[in-house]
A and B are shown apart, each in its own frame.
Chain A
């Protein structure tokens, strides 16, 4: 009671109170307002002229330009959280440590875990110096570590450092938090922008592919129509061809082998049989019949195909040499389809040699090797020393309708169909090429029964 009265009197006579000075206070407030204005300007500038396509280095540089005016600041760093890694992405003054990953035991992780800002005092001598920040280099004494939050999600951290000791006030911390919030939005916007750009690129690619696919479909439909027609024609030609061959053979039997017409008849029969084969192939191709699989000797395929096309190739002044493995195991395959593949590869090789000045050759090899899955495979290699394939076309050579030949000479279906056949046999076609030196195509067919 007595103490209470003494306290009341103290209050009245006011040892603890003073007359406040209006102008001193006004000046103090003015100073605060000026600083506050500058702070607002910085935050405003951040939101206004930081473009979403600006790099994080640029953003940090922009912020650092005016920051020392409003808060003690000799160092500014931006750290981002990528997956489970903290990475120092930008600093001012610029340092070569960009991209550095912050170790898990760093105090910086503590800020991320606590999800709240902290002031860190860099005390020299007691081992509390941060190695991941240039504390020693810039003689920093005080750091504000402020997590960048977007809707409660932490996306990184802002680091403001100064040489001055114990300088940061509550006011400074509040400002740092506002700055961090604004920066978080900038960083997030940038990320979203990148995602949008990436999505746009993917969408455009998808769109292009779709347009291409549509063109291919139209082309396929055309081809299918032509194929059907060709099949009809082939079918109609089959009977007269049989008659021509039959009659020629009958005449042949009646003539003496020395008869001058005998060679002519032989040619008629040979060409007729060739025509029949072509017609047969055409029919097979057109009908897309399920292939008849039988043990097939790849060496025989090579011989057979060469008998068909060697003349054509030799006529172009190209040497064809073969190097066939003597005990090549047979592969389970459709011989006719393999013929088609090999013809394709040989004709492509021939075309690749067109206009090549040096001595031209095509080298055919057969053999056995293991593929990347460890399966034993039989292979046929067709190597030429032609013009080769440019790197940008390498990935497209198997695309349907992709061709570098002039429109009248190629449909761009050869390799596409060939790859289809190889895959139907559980195999593949490999390609190596050096522009100006030549290409090597390898048909790889598995020897084991299981085709996955």
Chain B
């Protein structure tokens, strides 16, 4: 239906031991002093040290800053920009999961565009180029290393701001599956399911194109096949590599095809309750799939096929339902609950969540038109407490 589409991706360096390319890559970007952004978990695993060693080898100077939390906050960005500017850096290296990468993008925006991060919420608000941005993801999920998205929490409004711009696509993404070995089972599961929801949402997105579909479907296949072994065994490098590729392809798909209601809703819950993003998505995904199914039942059938379901002889509708079952089964196998367990959440707060989700940019490409009432129902459905479904 759409006549013209665009596919934007960074330079991607993929493979076991790819981390060794950090110094070389930074030199290629023309950097002289790098602002290295990470989080305490990654620093503890010494991945940052390894990256820094490579920078030193390349004769580059750097400044390390790792005070980033999950669901990164606006005040962290303010602090980061100040540090970046005070230390006279001219390029940014992010080593970590989605949070450090998103903070790195936000710091880059403010470093050359000025203002506060709230100014850039929404689509295409960035007017000046960002400093060179080099990213090394340490989780296989967020896809942030290849996307045009950055998600930052506005702490005053308690809202996850979605910032979308082609300028946010990093210059170089270095993806080294070896790095994934230090992640624990729960984090591996949550990030893996996050990648799955990226792939599924972008596959059914209104903005999907053949180029994004290829990436999305492949990501779905890889997650269905390798997420379980990856969670099960830290040292399974075959599974880790497949999951790294799955996260990468899901990222490429959703960066260009955008997402849907799952993420629009998850952004609100994460911001309000500081939940783990991957897990929230994993819980929301099957409910939203059920809601969306009437919009694109054929695509759901293809998802079922990609998930490894045997759909031979099934009607399209039955096959599509298999897709949802497959997602639920995968989540259950990985010990992901099927409800979001929270304390007392008033009707008013649920209304509030629905209102904000309707404003989220991700809602635009959801295959089925969404009303505030729909969102309210979906939230209510996923938040219903005490009833465990078999």
Residues of A at the B interface (CB closer than 8 Å) are: 5, 8-9, 11-26
Which of A11, A16, A22, A26 gathers most chain B CB within 10 Å?
A22
Q: How far is the CA of A156 from the CA of B164 in the complex (A)?
A: 52
Instruction: Determine whether the beta carbon of A8 is less than 8 Å from that of B364.
Output: yes
B50 part of interface (Cβ distance < 8 Å): no
Instruction: Determine whether the beta carbon of B207 is less than 8 Å from that of A9.
Output: yes
Among B30, B165, B167, B257, contact of A13 (Cβ-Cβ < 8 Å): B257
Which of A9, A18, A24 gathers most chain B CB within 10 Å?
A9
Q: How far is the CA of A19 from the CA of B256 in the complex (A)?
A: 13
Instruction: Determine whether the beta carbon of A12 is less than 8 Å from that of B123.
Output: yes
Q: How far is the CB of B124 from chain A (nearest CB, A)?
A: 5
Instruction: Determine whether the beta carbon of B8 is less than 8 Å from that of A19.
Output: yes
Q: How far is the CB of B17 from chain A (nearest CB, A)?
A: 28
> What would 10 more interface pairs be, CB under 8 Å, given A20-B130, A22-B130?
A9-B2, A9-B365, A13-B5, A13-B6, A15-B6, A17-B124, A17-B166, A20-B126, A22-B132, A23-B30
B169 part of interface (Cβ distance < 8 Å): yes
Residue of A nearest to B257 (CB): A13
Q: How far is the CA of A25 from the CA of B30 in the complex (A)?
A: 14
Q: How far is the CB of A290 from chain B (nearest CB, A)?
A: 94
Give 17 A-B contacts (CB < 8 Å), ordered by A residue.
Answer: A5-B364, A9-B207, A9-B364, A11-B123, A13-B207, A14-B6, A14-B124, A15-B5, A15-B6, A16-B124, A17-B166, A20-B128, A20-B166, A21-B129, A22-B130, A23-B30, A25-B128
B131 part of interface (Cβ distance < 8 Å): yes
Q: A9-B207, A13-B5, A13-B256 are in contact. Are A20 and B129 (CB under 8 A)?
A: yes
Q: How far is the CB of A374 from chain B (nearest CB, A)?
A: 85
Among B112, B124, B148, B206, contact of A9 (Cβ-Cβ < 8 Å): B206
Residues of B at the A interface (CB closer than 8 Å) are: 2, 4-6, 8, 30, 112, 123-124, 126, 128-132, 148, 164-167, 169, 206-207, 256-258, 361, 364-365
Instruction: Determine whether the beta carbon of A12 is less than 8 Å from that of B361.
Output: yes
Among B128, B129, B166, contact of A14 (Cβ-Cβ < 8 Å): B166
Chain B residues lying within 8 Å of A13, measured Cβ to Cβ, are 5-6, 207, 256-258
Q: How far is the CB of A389 from chain B (nearest CB, A)?
A: 83
Q: How far is the CA of A11 from the CA of B364 in the complex (A)?
A: 11
Those 3 A-B pairs whose CB atoms lie nearest each other, nearest first: A20-B129, A22-B129, A25-B129
Q: How far is the CB of B350 from chain A (nearest CB, A)?
A: 25
Q: How far is the CB of B151 from chain A (nearest CB, A)?
A: 15
Chain A residues lying within 8 Å of B365, measured Cβ to Cβ, are 9, 12
Q: How far is the CA of A22 from the CA of B130 in the complex (A)?
A: 6
Chain A residues lying within 8 Å of B130, measured Cβ to Cβ, are 20, 22
Q: How far is the CA of A223 from the CA of B148 in the complex (A)?
A: 107
Q: How far is the CB of B89 from chain A (nearest CB, A)?
A: 13
Among A5, A11, A21, A23, contact of B124 (Cβ-Cβ < 8 Å): A11
Chain A residues lying within 8 Å of B167, measured Cβ to Cβ, are 19-20
Chain A residues lying within 8 Å of B112, measured Cβ to Cβ, are 22
Q: How far is the CB of B72 from chain A (nearest CB, A)?
A: 22
Residue of A nearest to B369 (CB): A5
Q: How far is the CB of B284 from chain A (nearest CB, A)?
A: 20
Chain B residues lying within 8 Å of A22, measured Cβ to Cβ, are 112, 129-132
Instruction: Determine whether the beta carbon of A12 is less than 8 Å from that of B128.
Output: no
